[in-house]
Amino acid sequence: MRIMVLSDTHVPRMARDIPKKVYEEAGKCDLILHAGDFTEVLLYKKLQKINKIVAVCGNMDSKELSMLLKPKEIVEVKGFRIGLTHGWGSPEGLVERVYEDFSKDKVNCIVFGHSHHAFNDVYKKVSFLNPGSTTDKIFAKFNSYGIITISGKLETELVRI
């Protein structure tokens, strides 16, 4: 199973749309996870037409999205539990705060966003993936998205655009 991971797309606030390459990859995956900050509902609806999507709301999302999406989700895929949230507060300590939010949920992986800074590492035996942003480099040196591959084991990677 191949899962595309997005966050902080900020369409149309930071860009008119996400890159064509991202849409192409989304169509090749089995599932899309979005860790919030679409900003407006249009991109969410466009991604729904391409593939199954599980998403959470972020701090910059419209009221419509905030009413439609939860702030936290747990997705079970092939025996693995993936926590999905946007994140909050300062980038400093973000991993620790997000970990604490899922500490009782027995997750194998946590997907988060908020900082726009791509991150792929293990913390306290849990895989962490922040895909960065496909549209905004205000806090990062490059645009990116993430991929989770599940084939007997769960693997995470960052893809630079």
7-28 confidence digits (pLDDT tens) = 999 999 889 999 999 999 999 9
pLDDT score at 150: 98
What is the rounded distance in angstroms from the CA atom of residue 88 to the CA atom of residue 113?
9
List C-alpha distances in Å: 64 to 52, 56, 60, 159: 20, 12, 11, 30
pLDDT score at 136: 87
More reliable by pLDDT, 72 or 13: 72
- Domain covering 2-160, topology: Purple Acid Phosphatase; chain A, domain 2 (3.60.21)
What is the rounded distance in angstroms from the CA atom of residue 61 to the CA atom of residue 17?
15
What is the rounded distance in angstroms from the CA atom of residue 53 to the CA atom of residue 134?
17
List C-alpha distances in Å: 151 to 3, 80, 98, 155: 11, 11, 26, 8
Residue 137 binned pLDDT confidence (cut-offs 50, 70, 90): confident
